[in-house]
Structure 1
Amino acid sequence: MAFMTTPDDIGPLRLSTADIPERDRFAIWREVYGRLIHQVEIEPLDGEPFCADLTLRLLPGLGVASGPCSAANYRSTPQLIAQSTDSIGLPILLSGFGVIQQCGRETKIGPGETVVSTTVDPGVWALPEGGSFTVIRIARDLIAPLVPDLDAAVGRPIPHDTDALRLLINYLSLFRDHATITDLAVQRVVTTHIVDLAALVIGARRDAAEVAGHRGMRAARLRAIKADVMENIGQLDFSVTAVAARHHVTPRHIHRLFESEGASFTEFVNGQKLARAYRMLVDWRYRANRISDIAYDAGFTDLSAFNRMFRRRYATTPSDVRNRSRKP
C-alpha cells in the first residue's frame, strides 16, 4: 500500500511500534512504513529504541500521516524514488525542530512551520531530537495547475504565522480522525479543500488563489470556527466577538461564513448549547445538578429561553428527558 496510490478512502489507520514485538520492531517498521508506505529509509539517531505512533489517512491523490516519533533521519533514495508517485510534500512540524535537505538546499523549521518538498528528488528529512509532525503528500497533477513554477518552490520554508498553513493544520486534524468517507462526491470535496489550502500555502496563481480561497480556505476557516464554538461555548466570555478575535477575522466575516451554508452563527451556537445540555441531562454524572445549573453550564443565561428552545428542538421538556434517562 504505497502512500499515494489508493483509489479509495483508507483510514484512519493507526500504526504504532508498540504493537510490534520489540525484537523485530524497527526492522518491521522500516520495511512496512518506511519502504512500503512512505518510500524512505529510516535511520534512528539517538541510540535509544526507535518508537513511533502514527495515524495514516489516504484519499485518491492525497496522503496524510501524523503523530510523534523518536529522533530519526528519513532518506529518499533513488531506489525508493523509483517506487514512489510524483507528489509534492508538506512536512509540517508540530513539536521539536527539523531539517530538510533537498535539491541542494538545507532548510530548518520549527513548530507550526513546513517546507515544500518532492517525492522525486533525493533528500533527507531529519528530526534530530524527535517530535510530532504531520506529513501531507499531494499528487503533482492535482496541485501543479494551481501553483506557477512549482519546482522553484521546493525548499521554500513556510512560517508558522501563515494564515493558510494554520487553517490547513486545523483541517487536517479534523480529517485525520474522521470516519472513513465512502461517498465519492464527499471524497472529492475533501481532497479539493486540502489541495486548495496547500496551494495557498505554497503560493497559488492569482486566479487560482481566488478560487482556492473561496473553496478550501473558507471551508477550513468555517470548520475551525465551529470547533472553537464547541470547545468554548460554556465560557462566560463566549461571544462572536471573542471567536472572531481568536481567528483574526471580523464578526461580520463569521456571520457571512455561516450564511453561505444557509444558516446563522446564532442558530449553530444555540444548537450546540442545546446538544450539550441534552448530553448532561442524560449523563448520570450530572444527576445531582439542577436543570438550571445545567442550562447555565451549557452557555444559556436566560432559563426561560433555554426551556422554550429545548421544547422546540426536542419536542419535550428538560425534566422529561432527565426522568426518562433514570428509568431502568
Structure 2
Amino acid sequence: MFVALKSEDFDPERRVDAFQSAAENICKLQITPAEDREYRSQTMIAVLPDLVLADTSHTACTTLRTSELAAETGDNLLIHIPLAGGFEICQRGGDTVACGPGEVYLDPTEVPGIATFAGARANVLYISIPRALVAMAGAVPDTGLRNVTALTPQWRLLLGYVRCLHAELPHLPPEQATHCAAHVHDLAVMALGASRDAAEVAAGRGVRAARLRAVKDDIERNLVASSLSAEWIAARHGISPRYIRALFAGEGTSFGDYVANRRLLMARRMLSDPSQAARSISDIALSAGFGDLSWFNARFRRAFAMTPSEVRAQARKNL
C-alpha cells in the first residue's frame, strides 16, 4: 500500500495547518515549518508486512514527537538515512547529535524527541521495522540507539535495495512484495550487526538479493566493455568469481548467459531502430559486445527464432 503526503495537495489558504494535522495523524509528528509560506514537503510511504518505507523531502522545519505521539508508534526501530541535507536530533535519554549524508541514525520510536532540519532542502529515507524482528537476532544493542553511525558497505546494500524496492513496489504482486520485505529485514539485521547464526540466514536471502542487483546494475553500465567477465566484476565488488557465479546459478542461469542475453537484447533493439538502418549487422554485433559474428548469429537465432537480418526486415515492414 502507498500513501502520499504532499503539502501542495492542501488548500493554499490553510495548507500548513492541514498538512500539520495530516502529518501528526500519519507520521506521529508535530511539524513546525521554519517559514510557513515557503514550506514544502512530500512524503511517499510504502506499507508492507512488518515494514514501512518512507522517502521524505522538505524545506526547513522542526519535528516533535511528544510522549503521547510516541506511545502511538509501537515498539519499532526507525532507521534515518539522509540522502541530501541533514538534521540535528535529540531523543529522551540521548545526546543532541547531527546526522547528514553518509550517516545513519537509529531511532527507538517509542521515545519522544525533537529534530531540526535546516537548509533549503532535506531528503531522508526512513525504514521502520519492529524491533522484535531484529532484537531476536541480537542485532540492536541498546547502546546503538539514539546514536549516529557511518554508512558502511552493509548499510549501503540496504539503502540501495530499499530505494529500488520503493520505486518498483507499485508494480510488484503482493506475494513478491512480501518476499522483498523479508530481504529488507535480513539486510537490516546484517547492517545492525547480527549474531553469527542470523547473519548466515540473512546472507542466504537479503544480502544475496542486494548483491545480485548491484552486480546486474554494474553489468548494465559496462555491458559492451571487452573486459566484462565474472573475474572483472568480482574484483570491482570485492567478492570472489565463484560467488558471482553462485549468485546467477541461484537464478537458474550463468554469468555468461546473462551477459549474452543482455547483449542480444541490445542488438535486437538496434536492428529494429530505423535510425540504425545504415549500419551493417556485423557493426551492430560488435557494438553490442560480440567479437565473433558467427557465434552472434547462432545465438541470436536461438534466442529469438529469427536471424538478425529477418528482425531488421520485419522492422522495416512495420514502418
Tell which structure's C-alpha radius of gyration is larger: 2
Pick one of 84, 88, 95 that aligns with 1:95.
Answer: 84
Tell me the CA shift for residue 15 of structure 1: 4.5
Q: Which moved more, 1:296-305 or 1:135-144?
A: 296-305
Pick one of 44, 65, 73 that aligns with 2:54.
Answer: 65
Pick one of 101, 105, 114 that aligns with 1:111.
Answer: 101
Aligned position for 1:158: 149
Percent identity for Structure 1 against Structure 2: 35
* d(CA) in 2 for partners of 1:275, 1:282: 11
- Seen in structure 2, the aligned counterparts of structure 1 residues 125 and 268 have a Cα distance that, compared at 3 Å, is farther
- Seen in structure 2, the aligned counterparts of structure 1 residues 279 and 164 have a Cα distance that, compared at 3 Å, is same
Q: Which moved more, 1:230-239 or 1:62-71?
A: 230-239
Tell me the CA shift for residue 67 of structure 1: 4.4
Q: Does residue 1:271 correspond to 2:261, yes or no?
A: yes
| Residue type of the alignment partner of 1:169 | L
* d(CA) in 1 for partners of 2:146, 2:251: 38
Q: Which moved more, 1:17-26 or 1:85-94?
A: 17-26
- Seen in structure 2, the aligned counterparts of structure 1 residues 205 and 66 have a Cα distance that, compared at 3 Å, is same
Q: Does residue 1:42 correspond to 2:14, yes or no?
A: no
* d(CA) in 2 for partners of 1:232, 1:144: 40
Tell me the CA shift for residue 236 of structure 1: 5.0
Tell me the CA shift for residue 255 of structure 1: 1.7
Q: Is the 8 A contact 1:59 1:191 kept in 2?
A: yes
Root-mean-square deviation (CA), in Å? 2.4
Give the TM-score taking structure 2 as reference length: 0.88
Q: Does residue 1:131 correspond to 2:127, yes or no?
A: no
Equivalence map 1:313-324=2 (5 Å): 313-324=303-314
Q: Which moved more, 1:217-226 or 1:70-79?
A: 70-79
Q: Does residue 1:142 correspond to 2:137, yes or no?
A: no
- Seen in structure 2, the aligned counterparts of structure 1 residues 22 and 279 have a Cα distance that, compared at 3 Å, is farther
Tell me the CA shift for residue 279 of structure 1: 2.6
Pick one of 60, 85, 89 that aligns with 2:74.
Answer: 85
Write the deviation string for residues 169-194 of structure 1: whole angstroms up to 9, x where unpaired.
1111210111343343x333212110
Tell me the CA shift for residue 116 of structure 1: 1.0
- Seen in structure 2, the aligned counterparts of structure 1 residues 150 and 188 have a Cα distance that, compared at 3 Å, is farther
* d(CA) in 1 for partners of 2:32, 2:283: 55
Q: Which moved more, 1:238-247 or 1:49-58?
A: 238-247
Equivalence map 1:137-216=2 (5 Å): 137-148=128-139, 150-160=141-151, 162-178=152-168, 179-184=170-175, 186-216=176-206
Q: Is the 8 A contact 1:116 1:202 kept in 2?
A: no
**Equivalent pairs, count:** 315
Aligned position for 2:43: 54
Structure 2 residue ranges without an equivalent (≥5)? none
Tell me the CA shift for residue 85 of structure 1: 2.7
* d(CA) in 2 for partners of 1:67, 1:320: 49
| Residue type of the alignment partner of 2:25 | L
Structure 1 residue ranges without an equivalent (≥5)? 1-9
- Give the secondary-structure state (helix, strand or coil) at the position aligned to 2:63: strand
- Seen in structure 2, the aligned counterparts of structure 1 residues 273 and 31 have a Cα distance that, compared at 3 Å, is farther
Q: Does residue 1:26 correspond to 2:25, yes or no?
A: no
Tell me the CA shift for residue 86 of structure 1: 2.2
Aligned position for 2:222: 232
- Seen in structure 2, the aligned counterparts of structure 1 residues 323 and 196 have a Cα distance that, compared at 3 Å, is same
| Residue type of the alignment partner of 2:124 | F
| Residue type of the alignment partner of 1:299 | G
* d(CA) in 2 for partners of 1:89, 1:107: 16
Q: Is the 8 A contact 1:44 1:50 kept in 2?
A: yes
- Seen in structure 2, the aligned counterparts of structure 1 residues 123 and 297 have a Cα distance that, compared at 3 Å, is farther
Write the deviation string for residues 189-246 of structure 1: whole angstroms up to 9, x where unpaired.
2121101111121221222122222221112111111122223313454343443333
| Residue type of the alignment partner of 2:30 | E
Tell me the CA shift for residue 70 of structure 1: 1.7
Pick one of 281, 291, 296 that aligns with 2:281.
Answer: 291
Equivalence map 1:252-267=2 (5 Å): 252-267=242-257
